[in-house]
Amino acid sequence: MSKKIQIAEDFIEEYEREEAKARLEDHRSKQVAFEKHLAAYEPLLEAQESAFEALIALYPPMVEDLGHRRAERLDTASKMSQTSQHKREASLNHISRSVRRKLEDTKRNAHEATDSSALIKTMKQLVRF
C-alpha cells in the first residue's frame, strides 16, 4: 500500500510541476516588454518637450528678465528693511516709555487709593469717639 501511495504522490507532484510550468509559460506569453511601453511613450515625451521649447521661444524676454526683476525686488525689500530699522527702534522706545509711564501712574494711583482708604478709616474712627 505504501508503494501505491508513493506512486500516487509522485504522479501528483509531476502533474503539479507540469501545470505550474504551463501557467508560467502562459504568463510569459502575455507579458509585455518594458521597451514596448517605452516606445509608446517616447512620442508623447518628445511632443511635450517640443511644446515647452516653443513656449519658451515665445516668451524669451520674460524668462530672461525674470532673474533681473527678482533681484530688484529683493534689493528694494532689503533697503526698506534697513531704512525702517531706525523707525522701528524709535517706535519701540516710544511705546516702552509710554507703557512705563502708565505703569508708574497705575502704581501711584493704587498707592493713593490705599492711603485714601486708610485715611477714611482713621477719620471714621475719630468721628466715633
Count of positions (residues) in the chain: 129
- pLDDT above 70 coverage of the chain, percent: 98
Distance CA 70, CA 40 (A): 41
pLDDT digits (tens, 9 = 90+) for 74-125: 888 888 777 777 787 888 899 899 999 999 998 888 888 888 888 888 888 8
Distance CA 87, CA 80 (A): 11
Overall pTM > 0.75: no
Query: Is residue 63 a contact partner of residue 56, using CB atoms and an 8 Å limit?
Result: yes
Q: What mean pLDDT is predicted for residues 16-44?
A: 84
DSSP state at residue 114: H
Distance CA 77, CA 84 (A): 10
Q: Which pLDDT band, with edges at 50, 70 and 90, does 46 fall under? A: very high
